[in-house]
Each structure stands twice: as structure tokens, then as C-alpha cells.
Amino acid sequence: MAATLSLDTLTSGGSGITVLAGKTLTVEGVSVTAGSTNVQRAIADVTIGTTAGYEVAGKSEVVVAANAASSNRTITLPAVGAVGMSTCIITVVADADATSTYQLKVQDAATAEVWTGYQTGDFVRLIVSNSAWVVVDHKETYYSYRYKAADQTIAASSTTKLLTWTLITEIGNTWDNTNNKITTPTGMNGYWTVQYNVACAPSHGGVAPTLYLNGVNIWQNAHTFDTGGYRGQGLGHVGKYYATSTQDIEFYSTNARSDYSNTLAGGARNKTNFIVQFERVY
């Protein structure tokens, strides 16, 4: 026969209260197991809450370290109504850099992407609120740095898309090499910080940077043209732009000369180049 002890306060004259081996302490229907935090390192795809060792019941936080250094890695969250999730925080952190096109992905029980990271220290911290996953903190790295592979001629008074870029650094796989553009990851919204510089070939000073977002010209320093020559050109641009899922950033150049074509200089890092970084928002 089970004994019942009813107390308002439970205290101990020693350093703590001991639950004997083989016994379980249950609080509000949830078993409290050894330790309030469950820290694991995943070397394969796992499902938190059902994979052995990745329990959430009785835990205040589950921390999973993983990486996509040699293959894609997927961490699946428990159902939002799983036992223990009402009081448990889940953190997933990358402990090594991703390589190739691999990614560390966190998905919900229905396999919908919740967060994706690439670099050491990228992380996401999640809770369940109102029967849904809520991101309370996160960091993910999306970064592209490239320079123009070769010179390109820009016809008089024209705005022309720049083609053929050389990779310096790419993290997050947002560059579309076939179409020469940056693409916002599917299902994500956020801010692109853009630094874009153009260089002119010798004696060709009429080219200026022009930026397109979602097919729309959003920044063009060379606004007007004149038969006498130069008008309103500039060689550098820095901006921060909001973009939604799959919207593109494309790099153009405008020739401020209406009397003849100009050549934009490429072939080296210190010539025409861009750096972009994406800041995801939820």
C-alpha cells in the first residue's frame, strides 16, 4: 500500500533531499530525473524527446551540440504537446563549421524547417508558447564575398547586370552561380546588409553601382545622363534591405556616359566586388 504524506513545506537539515535509487520524484505529473539540464552531442540525426538520452520530461533545458562538417545534420523537435515541453527550453548549437553545401537544420515534428545554421557558434533557443514553437534567441551565418572575375563593358547610358563572379567566401549557400545573384533562403525573412563597390578600367570613369532587389532597381547613383559626359555617378554603396523568402539581390552597373561605352574593371579582389550578410528575423 502506497503511503501519502501531506506537507506545506519540505526542508532538510543536510545539503539536500535524497531520492533513493530506483525511486522517482514526480512534480505535477512529470518525473524529475537526475539533473535539471540534459546536454547531448548529436553525431547522427536525432529526434529530441524520443531518441534515447534526449528526454525533455523532467528537464528545464535540453542542449544539443551538432554540426554539418561532413554531411547534413537534422535535429527534430518533439511535438509541442510532449510531456515536459511546457517547462523545458531547447537549445541547438553548431560546434563545428559546415563544409560544402551541408547544413545543420532544426525541424518540427511535421518536418517543417524552424532554423538552419552553418558556422561554429550558430544556435537557436526555443520554447513552446500557445501550442507553437517560439524562437527566443538565435544566430545563423549567411555571408557571401565575391569579386568580378573579369572586365565587363557597359554600353552608353545603359544599366547592365554584372556576370561571372569569383568566390572568396561563401557561407549559407545563398549565391546562385547560374544566374549571378543572391537569393534569400526559402521560408525566411530578414535583412541583407550589402557593401558593393565598382572599379573602372583606366580612362573609363562613367560606371556606377546599381542594385536590384526582387527585380526592382532600388539604388542607382548614376541617375541622369548628359551628352557632354559624366553625371551623378558613384563607385560604392552600403545599405541594409529587408527581403522575404526567395527574393533576389542582383548586381548591376550604370554607365553615366551617353556618348560612349565604359568598361567596369574586374579580375582582382580590389576591383569590383561585393559583401553581403543576411540577418534572419522571426
| Global pTM value | 0.84
Residue 197 scores a pLDDT above 60: yes
Query: Of 200, 201, 196, 188, which is closest to residue 243 (Cα–Cα)?
Result: 188
Average pLDDT, the chain: 90
Share of the chain above pLDDT 90, in %: 75
Handedness of CA 265, 204, 210, 260 (dihedral sign): negative
Q: Are residues 134 and 153 in the same domain?
A: no
Tens-place pLDDT, residues 91-107: 999 999 999 999 999 99
What is the C-alpha to C-alpha distance for residues 155 and 24, in angstroms, rounded to an integer? 78
Q: Are residues 123 and 147 in the same domain?
A: no
Residue 21 scores a pLDDT above 90: no
Residue 268, domain extent = 142-281
Share of the chain above pLDDT 70, in %: 87
First to last CA, the chain: 53
Calculate the CA 236 to chain-centre distance: 26
Final residue of a structural domain among 97, 116, 139: 139
Q: What is the mean pLDDT of residues 206-229?
A: 79
Residue 239 scores a pLDDT above 70: yes
8 Å CB contact between 197 and 235? yes
How many residues make up the chain in this entry?
A: 282
Which CATH number fits the domain that encloses residue 191?
Answer: 2.60.120.40
209 falls within a domain: yes
- List the grid coordinates of 72: 547534413
What is the C-alpha to C-alpha distance for residues 176 and 162, in angstroms, rounded to an integer? 13
Which CATH number fits the domain that encloses residue 59?
Answer: 2.60.120
* pLDDT value of position 11: 73
Identify the band that residue 231 occupies on the pLDDT scale cut at 50, 70 and 90: very low
Q: What is the mean pLDDT of residues 130-141?
A: 98
What is the C-alpha to C-alpha distance for residues 157 and 2, in angstroms, rounded to an integer? 90
**Domain count of the chain?**
2
Tens-place pLDDT, residues 142-194: 999 999 999 999 999 999 999 999 999 999 999 999 999 999 999 999 999 99
Number of neighbouring beta carbons within 10 Å of residue 189? 14
